[in-house]
Structure 1
C-alpha cells in the first residue's frame, strides 16, 4: 500500500536552512511545473574556467541581507505567469516542510510584485502532497501545536 499523501493548503511556511532563511511564506501552485524563488541582482561571474551565479534573496520578506554565490546551477527556459518564455537560472537547495527536509530545484525569478517570495510547483508536490485550496498554513499550524505540546510536556 502506498504512503498517504500529506495534505497541504494554498499557502504555507517553509524553512530554507542552507540559505539561512526561516519562516518563509510560500504559495502552492499546482499549475506551475517548477518552483520559483524571488531573487534580485542575479548575475553570472566568470573567473578563469569557473563560472558562478551571484544573487540576493528577498530581505523584505525576512531573508538574510547577503549575497549568495553558487557554482552548482543550470539555465532553463520557463513559461512565466503571463505565458511568455524567459531564461532563468535554477539552483538546488533543501527546504523544510512538515518537518521533512526536501532537496528541490528553484528557478530564480523576479517575484517582487507577488505577495509570496516563493512558489512551490508540481515537481515538488508530486507524490508528496495533496493540495486542499480551502486550507492555509497547515504545516505552520502543526509546527505551533508541536511547540506547545513540547513546552507543556516539560512543565
Structure 2
C-alpha cells in the first residue's frame, strides 16, 4: 500500500450523501465497490437544452417525501448499465456535485428506478476512486451524526 492511500478519507458501507445542486441532502447511500457507476433513484420527465447544453429534468421520489422533488442536471449521456441482476438497461447519466463528509466533487450518476432498493443512492467505484478508501465493516464513518444516532455500530 502506498502512503498516498493512507491520506484518503475512509467511508463505511453506508454513508449520508448530499447532492447540493439538486437540492438533495442527507440521503442514505450504499457504498458499493462492485458497481462501476453511481446510481440515483429518479424518473426522467424530459430532455431540454439551455445555452447550448443538454439537461434532463427528472423526479426524485423517496419514501419519506410528501411529494416528488423535480430536479434538473446536465445530461451527459444515455448508456447501457448492467444492474446487479445482470440485465443491461439504457439509463440517463447526469453530472452534478456530490458531497460525502467534507469532500465535494463532480460525479456522473445514472438515473434508475431504485424503488425496490433499500438505499435511494448507490455510490460506485468510479465515484470512490482516488477519493476514498472503503472499510466495509463499518457504517457512517463520514457521517458523525448518524454514527451517534446508531450507537457506533457497523
- How does the TM-score come out when normalised to structure 1? 0.80
Corresponding residue for residue 115 of structure 2 = 112
Structure 1 residue runs of 4 or more that deviate by more than 6 Å after TM superposition? 142-145
**Distance in 2 between residues matched to 1:140 and 1:43, nearest whole Å:** 32
Match of 1:99 among 95, 99, 102: 102
**Distance in 2 between residues matched to 1:20 and 1:98, nearest whole Å:** 17
Work out whether residues 17 and 99 of structure 2, in 8 Å CA contact, stay in contact via their aligned partners in 1. Answer: yes
In structure 1, list runs of 5 or more residues that go unmatched.
146-155
Match of 2:86 among 83, 87, 95: 83
| Alignment root-mean-square deviation, CA | 2.6
Work out whether residues 21 and 62 of structure 1, in 8 Å CA contact, stay in contact via their aligned partners in 2. Answer: no
Corresponding residue for residue 152 of structure 2 = none
Match of 1:21 among 12, 24, 31: 24
- Further displaced range: 115-124 or 66-75: 66-75
- Further displaced range: 31-40 or 61-70: 61-70
Number of corresponding residues: 143
Corresponding residue for residue 128 of structure 2 = 125
Corresponding residue for residue 46 of structure 2 = 44
- Further displaced range: 85-94 or 54-63: 54-63
- Further displaced range: 58-67 or 119-128: 58-67
**Distance in 2 between residues matched to 1:30 and 1:135, nearest whole Å:** 14
Q: Which SS does the other structure have where 1:139 is aligned?
A: coil
